[in-house]
Each structure stands twice: as structure tokens, then as C-alpha cells.
Chains A and B, each alone.
Chain A
Amino acid sequence: MTSLAAQWRTFRAAIFKNVRISLTYRPWLINSLVSPVVWIAISIFTYVGIASPAAIEEGFRELTGSPAFTGFLVLGQTIYSFFTAMNWRGGMALERERFYGTFEMILLSPASRVVMVLGEAVWGIIDSGWVIFLTTVIASILFGLSFNVTDPLAVVVGLALTFLAMISLGLFFSGFYVLSRSAGPIAHAVQSPIRFVSGVSFPISALPVYLQFVSYALPVTFGLNVVRSSLLGGGTTLGLSQELIALVAFTILFFILGVWMIRKMEQVAKSRGTLHTF
């Protein structure tokens, strides 16, 4: 059994490596700041371009219980940005090692592969977190957001559980991507469909019922509901308990699947001899 100290060293090393490497790729910051704000603008203009604000608010009240459509769209982008960050940071963590050519080297060590990915994923949340937070603040000022919080605990717990669910999802993707041997294309391909079915820029109730089933199979959807409701609709911890429990369940489910997937990936790659390839 690997000791807790060993796990901690691995976790810290994964973060150390990423901090050092990401410092050398700072120009990415420009894209991370600009693109979410532009996406928010696109979705807001899509609505206000065809209907009056009053009509849009009325429509949103009917579908979501809250008229705050700019808030809905800004937070939609915020949570979706966390999803994409996780997709590329945690999800691509192992694939990136293949790209660097260091994958065999880390697998030569006795360190836990799961902890390595968790290190990358947690750092991904922190590192992209402040950028995403900044874009949310910018967008809130630009598009005039009004928050309605009655239970701050719901906000904190909601965000925390959303992050955990996404970290778990990242863990699962990390094994799956390497196993698929087509990580890049798949990582790109999952983004837009998830944007569509999770209700990033419109209420899910607008979707046909069969697609709503897909929506509720995704943690992003629940994360969006919880965060929007606690920040804009005065949602409480108790009132959101079902969604919060769903997020916990997703976290556990994807964690187990992730651990299994990473093991499977290592086993398959080692018998086919594809660890060193890219």
C-alpha cells in the first residue's frame, strides 16, 4: 500500500510540474479571457436581437422560475468554462505526457497514476478558476447582472460539489482518452454537444424529452442548475438537496469509473506496446 505521504508527494509534484510548464505558455491567457466573454455576448445578442427584454424575461420565468436571463447566460458560460478547463487539464493529463514523450517515464515510477491526474485536475480548477472568475466579473459588469442569494451555504456547497464532479469526470476522461488513441479529436468533439444538452445558453426544458434524458445523465447540467439557482433564484441547500446529491453520486460514479479506466488503459497499452507512441 502506498503511504499517504507518497500520495501527497505525487500530488504536489503534479502541481509543481504544471505550474512550471504553464508559466511558459502564458499567451493562452488571452484566449481564456476573451473567448468566454464573446460567447456570452453571442448568446445574449441571440435573444435580444429577436425579442424585447420584457418578453425574454417572461419566457425565462415560465421555463426556469426566474426572469434573470443575462445571469442565466453568464453563469452558463462560467460553469461550461470549468467543464472545458477540466476536459483539457485533467482529461488530457495523461495524453499530454504521451505528447511530451514522458508517459513511459512516469509509468516507470511506482507513483499512483490516479493521484497524478488528480493533481493536474485540481491545479486545473485553481489555475483556470481565477481566469473564469475574472471573466464572470467582467461579464457581470458589462451585461449588468443582479444576484439573488438567500443561502450562501448553497452557493459554496453547490460550487464545491460541481468542481468535485468535474474533477471526477476529468479522471475518467484521462484514462478514456489515452485508451481511445484519438484524444484530441474526441476532446474537441465532446465539447459542443455538452454545451448543447447541458443547457448552457437556453433552458433544458426547451429540449425534446429524449434529449433531456441525456441532459440529466451529465453532471454539468446539475452543476449549472445548482449554481444558477443558488446565485440567481435564491435557492437553498435544502431546496437543492436532490441536485446536490446527484452531484455527489456523479462524483463517486466517475471516480470509480476513472480509476478502472486508468487501470484498463495502462494494461491495454502495456500489452499492445503503445505507451511510447503518439
Chain B
Amino acid sequence: METAIQTFGLTKVFQGYSETRKGPLGWVRNKVRPDRKSILAVDHVDISIERGEIFGLLGPNGAGKTTLVKMLCTLLVPTEGTARVNGWDIHEHPGKVRRSVGVVLGGERALYWRLTGRENLWYFSQLYNIKTQQALQKIQAVLRLVELTDRADDRVENYSKGMKQKLHVARALLHDPEVLLLDEPTIGLDPKAAKDVRSFVTRLAEEERKTILLTTHYMFEADELSRRVAIIDRGRIITQGPPSELKTSLRRKEILKLSIRSFNEETGEKLASAPHVHKVIQTASNPSTGSVDLKILVDDGEEALPRIISEIVIGGGEILSLRSETPSLEDVFIELTGKTIKEAGLPPRAA
């Protein structure tokens, strides 16, 4: 198998200002413009992605997904380490890397609002040195793929968020890149549009053998699309592998979902130290009913359950519901970080 993307200890530190400002002028500048802390955004990441593979990078806000993608497409210079993209080193051949990758960073602004969708695509096709005839054909084709043909001659300022996102995708495909880096490609899309994007991502990998690195917050999206997944938290890859494998690493484990009224901290601590219990996570609290939702990761439900129930009752709690389920990718994340993906992320680690 051929490797399309490989990183070697890829690291990014966003340097605080005070360290680079020296002398009297530096002193003045520190006073005028407040400091920012150094942040270790990506920490010695080693991943390897094969040609034609969809690789999901899953992580909470601020985990370093965007930073990693930007290093791979040469928009950020790594502090340490390097990567090869489509066979080219990002330090030595940034131009070749740029020609090889199609990037979707999303966002509302990264298009010319005063130009039409078609004009935007024309402009970018020229920056990629595509011959006129070929460019015109390609523009038709990508517009059709993302289903924007009808609105192609409207100014982008009149597009909805989803249409802009589709135009981002269309632009990324203009120069027929070998590798696609998609940073949260379905963010802000309605369920139908998100499904469309997911289905053509799959098609691009299957039919055109594009290599796709896709970042997402959504567990199911990573699960559904990717052949392999890496989970990133606070800049570090905490695990990687095929989604099914990550889940079977928890195979002998079970998740108990409970909803409890009058639950207190003390009971929580007792539960956490009970035999067979691995982790206790509070996933929600509902002040109106005075209840909380817990996820308890156990390695043997039958053994653990009587003790769990008695601890709750002794602590004065009332069990409203109790369910057992098999682990999802979300639970893999919980197992590894002790947090749900929604709670995770902040604060970032200082460098």
C-alpha cells in the first residue's frame, strides 16, 4: 500500500509575543499589545494515511485539528517535525504539496462575496494554471457535483451557509488534487446537505481513489465515513485505528446509562471506586427535575450493578432509568480522556 500522507513528530507551538519581543522596543510593544500565551496546539503527531483511504480526525474544540490540516497544506509552518504529502516534503517542496492538495477550511468569509460562484471558481482555476477550455469544463463538472449549477451565476453574498460550504468543496476539487483535506466539511449544513457531502466524499474515495483526511466533531460521521480514525485531544493523538477496532478494544466493557434524582458528589466518588467500575461521567444534569444523567463504564455489568444500585440508594438517590449499551466511538473517547467530547477541549495546554 502506498502512503499518501505521513507525518513525523509534527508539532506546532503558537509562540507568545513576550518571548520574541526583546529590548526597549519590545518592552513598549508588550505594554501596547497584550501578551498571548504560548500554546502547544499540535504535539508530536505521527499519522500515516494510505492512498484512497478516508481517514477521520476526531476531536473536541481546540484539539488541534485545524492546525494539523493547515500544516499539511503549507498554511502553517510546523515548529518541529515534518510531513510528506503525496510524496512531497512540506518543507522542501511546498509548491508541489500545494498542487497536490485540495483544501476545505470552510468559513463564511473565505470566498469573494462580490463575485458569483462561477467567477470565484474561474479565478481560482486560473491560480492553479488550468487552461481555459479545461477550466470551463471542470467548473461545470464540480458545480454539478455539488449541485450548485442553478445558482452559479448569483453573487456569493446571496448564498446560504450551506451553499458557501458546497462552493468551498467545489473549489477544492478544481485542480483534481490527489489528496483532499476537509476541515469539518459538514459544519453548519442541514441534515440533507450534510448527507450529500458525506456521500460524495465516499464517492471521491471509492471512484477516484482520492485520499481524504477529514476532521469532525461528530462521532457518527467519523464512524460512518472513515476507514481509520485518529482521536486527537489537546494536540495529541490518543488512539488510532479502524472504528470497529477502537470499539472492540472496549468489547468486554459495557456502558450503563443512568438517570438519577437527588444524586450527590459523594455517591459519585463511591461509585467510581466500586469494583468493576472504570469511569463515571456525568453527561447531563437537569435542574428542573433535579436529576443527573450518568455514564458508567464497567467491565462486568452483572457483577457491578448490585453494588452500583445500593450505593445510589444509600446515598439517597432515586434511579429514574437504567440502560446498558455497547460502546460507541464516543465511549472510546470517554474511556481515553475521561470526558465527553462536548466537555473536552479547553483549556489548551501551555507550551
Chain A interface residues toward B at CB < 8 A: 2-3, 5-6, 9-10, 12-13, 16-17, 20-21, 24, 100-102, 104-111, 116, 267, 270-273, 275
Contacts and interface: CB of A to CB of B under 8 A. Distances in A.
A91 to B, nearest CB: 20
B321 interface: no
B98 A110 contact: yes
Q: Which 3 A-B pairs have the closest CB atoms?
A: A101-B109, A13-B126, A109-B127
A105 B128 contact: no
Interface string B11-50: 0101100000000000000000000000000000000000
B135 to A, nearest CB: 9
B193 to A, nearest CB: 21
A35 to B, nearest CB: 24
Contacts of A110: 95, 98-99, 127-129
Nearest to B126: A13
B124 A20 contact: no
Contact of B112 (A3, A17, A108): A17
Contacts of B124: 105, 109
Contacts of A105: 105, 110-111, 124, 171
Which secondary structure dominates chain B's binding surface? loop
B95 to A, nearest CB: 5
Interface of B: 12, 14-15, 67, 70, 73-77, 79, 95, 98-99, 101, 103, 105, 107-115, 119, 122-124, 126-130, 171
A87 to B, nearest CB: 22
B110 A5 contact: no
A276 to B, nearest CB: 8
Contacts, number: 91
Contacts of A101: 107-111
Which secondary structure dominates chain A's binding surface? helix
B127 A13 contact: yes
14 contacts: A2-B129, A3-B129, A9-B129, A9-B130, A13-B126, A20-B119, A104-B75, A106-B127, A108-B101, A110-B128, A270-B75, A271-B77, A272-B14, A273-B70
Given A21-B114, A110-B98, A273-B14, A10 B75 contact: no
B73 A102 contact: no
Given A100-B109, A272-B15, A16 B122 contact: yes
